[in-house]
C-alpha cells in the first residue's frame, strides 16, 4: 500500500508539472498574439512645490536620438559655414524610450532633452570642421496631459546652471510649431534616426 501511494504521488507530481508547462506555453502564446502591453504613462518627471520641473539627475544616462549643427527654421536667415551656429543634441528619457520601442507610441510623461552647445574650430589638433563648445542651454519637452490639457505637452528652459525651470504659458511658439510640424504626436521624429525603426506604420 505504501509503495502504491508513493507511485500515485509521483504520477500526480508529473501530471502537475506537465499541466504547468502547458499553461505557461499557452500563456506565452496568448501574450504573443496580444502584442505589446500598452503603457499609457510613465512617472519620471519631478516637480517642486510651485510646479517647476527639476533638472533630471540622470540626464547623462538618457538615450541619444540625433544631433544637428546650425539648424534653423527661418528661411530668411542664410546658413554661414564659417559661423555655423550651435550644436543641438536630442536625448530621450530611458523609461519612455523603452515603452516607445515596444509600442511605437509616446506614453504620457515622456521627456526629451534638447541641449544647445556652442561650436568652435582650431581646438587642440583639430584644423577643420567644428567641435562642441560649452553648454548654452537645456530645453526639456514634457508630455503631460493633466498638467497641460490644452496641448498635452510643453517645454521647460534651463540655463547651464539652473536646477529647476518653469514652463511658459500656453499656447506658445514652441508648442504651435511642434503641433504643426512634428511628424509623430507633435514630436520631430523626422529628425531622429534612432526612433524610425520603432514608428508605427503611417507615422
DSSP string, the chain: -HHHHHHHHHHHHHHHHHHHHHHHHHHHHHHHHH-S----B-----B-TTSPEEPPTTGGGSEEEEEEES--S-TTS---TTS---EEEEEE-HHHHHHHHHHSS--BT-EEEEEEEEEE-S-TT--SS-EEEEEEEEEEEEE-TTT-TTTSEEEEEE-TT-SEE-PPPSS-HHHHHHHHH-TBTTB-GGG-GGGGGGPPTT-
pLDDT of residue 5: 44
pLDDT of residue 71: 93
pLDDT of residue 74: 85
**pTM given for the model:** 0.79
Give the homologous superfamily in CATH for domain 53-198: Cytochrome P460 (3.50.70.20)
Mean pLDDT of each 10-residue bin along the chain, 203 residues long: 44 42 45 57 96 96 97 87 93 98 97 97 92 97 98 98 97 97 97 95 70
Amino acid at each position: 500500500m505504501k509503495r502504491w501511494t508513493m507511485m500515485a504521488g509521483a504520477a500526480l507530481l508529473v501530471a502537475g508539472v506537465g499541466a504547468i508547462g502547458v499553461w505557461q506555453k499557452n500563456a506565452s502564446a496568448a501574450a504573443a498574439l496580444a502584442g505589446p502591453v500598452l503603457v499609457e504613462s510613465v512617472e519620471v518627471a519631478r516637480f517642486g512645490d510651485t510646479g517647476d520641473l527639476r533638472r533630471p539627475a540622470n540626464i547623462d544616462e538618457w538615450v541619444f536620438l540625433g544631433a544637428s549643427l546650425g539648424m534653423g527654421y527661418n528661411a530668411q536667415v542664410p546658413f554661414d559655414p564659417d559661423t555655423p551656429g550651435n550644436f543641438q543634441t536630442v536625448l530621450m528619457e530611458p523609461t519612455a524610450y523603452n515603452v516607445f520601442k515596444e509600442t511605437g507610441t509616446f506614453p504620457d510623461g515622456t521627456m526629451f532633452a534638447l541641449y544647445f552647445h556652442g561650436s568652435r574650430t582650431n581646438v587642440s589638433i583639430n584644423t577643420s570642421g567644428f567641435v562642441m563648445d560649452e553648454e548654452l542651454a537645456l530645453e526639456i519637452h514634457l508630455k503631460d496631459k493633466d498638467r497641460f490639457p490644452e496641448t498635452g505637452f510643453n517645454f521647460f528652459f534651463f540655463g547651464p546652471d539652473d536646477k529647476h525651470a518653469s514652463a511658459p504659458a500656453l499656447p506658445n511658439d514652441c508648442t504651435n510649431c511642434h503641433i504643426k510640424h512634428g511628424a509623430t504626436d507633435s514630436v520631430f521624429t523626422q529628425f531622429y534616426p534612432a526612433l524610425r525603426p520603432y514608428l508605427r506604420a503611417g507615422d
